[in-house]
């Protein structure tokens, strides 16, 4: 399989720089990812629902566009993407009402995939969820529906023809990351900070040899950059 390419990237002092669009840029993972990408010299864009959010993000160097994902057409969403190198979908209902889950985690992902095709953006990373999450609990109907919709979104992206990446983190915690993880095609369900998820995502986006893969993420002892490189699939 040919190696995926990072398009629309510049290089400075040997480091690649990217234009990245984050759907969910005001969320826990999306906001941290924006900071980490900016610190690497990347240009970050995002989608927000209010002008006040756009103005606040501008003070942090993030170019946000105002729009409601659930109401935008595919054409309108594609126009906001512009010529970015990668799209990250980190928005989510977190197991809220079925209506919100369907609109964001389900229909929102499908719409973003179609918009990516229309805009000619090949690289698409989706923050999903470990299927085993909370299996030890007695889950309500809304949360069970959330898991089903997230699985459906994973399937949609994996069949999209894009240069996709699905990242399934463990139970999300706040607080500073430790910089070490366990990353691979199958991981135990534990917990991980949003900071380490964002750090892993930033590293994955800058590794063009990782594509069309589902990776699961948990706490661990391997430095993030090493964990990412260990998941490169070499062609012989």
CA–centroid distance for 113 within its chain = 13
Q: Which among 89, 146, 147, 164 is annotated as catalytic? A: 146
Is 146 in the active site? yes
Strands 86-89 vs 19-23: parallel, antiparallel or unpaired: parallel
Quote the CA–CA distance of 126 and 129 in Å, as a whole number. Answer: 10
User: Which positions are catalytic?
Assistant: 146
């Amino acid at each position: 399989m040919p190696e995926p390419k990072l398009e629309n990237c510049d290089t400075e002092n040997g480091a690649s720089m990217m234009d990245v669009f984050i759907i969910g840029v005001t969320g826990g993972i999306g906001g941290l990812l924006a900071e980490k990408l900016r610190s690497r010299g990347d240009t970050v864009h995002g989608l927000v629902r209010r002008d006040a959010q756009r103005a606040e993000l501008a003070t942090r160097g993030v170019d946000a566009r105002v729009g409601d994902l659930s109401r935008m057409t595919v054409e309108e969403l594609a126009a906001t993407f512009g010529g970015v190198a990668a799209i990250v979908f980190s928005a989510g209902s977190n197991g809220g009402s079925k209506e919100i889950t369907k609109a964001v985690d389900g229909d929102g992902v499908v719409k973003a995939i179609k918009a990516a095709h229309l805009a000619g953006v090949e690289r698409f990373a989706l923050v999903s969820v470990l299927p085993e999450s909370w299996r030890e609990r007695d889950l309500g109907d809304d949360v069970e529906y959330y898991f089903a919709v997230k699985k459906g979104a994973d399937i949609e992206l994996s069949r999209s023809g894009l240069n996709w990446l699905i990242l399934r983190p463990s139970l999300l915690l706040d607080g500073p990351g430790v910089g070490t993880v366990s990353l691979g095609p199958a991981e135990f369900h534990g917990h991980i900070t949003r900071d380490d998820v964002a750090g892993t995502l930033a590293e994955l986006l800058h590794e063009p040899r990782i594509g069309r893969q589902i990776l699961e993420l948990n706490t661990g002892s391997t430095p993030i950059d090493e964990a990412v490189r260990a998941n490169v699939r070499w062609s012989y």
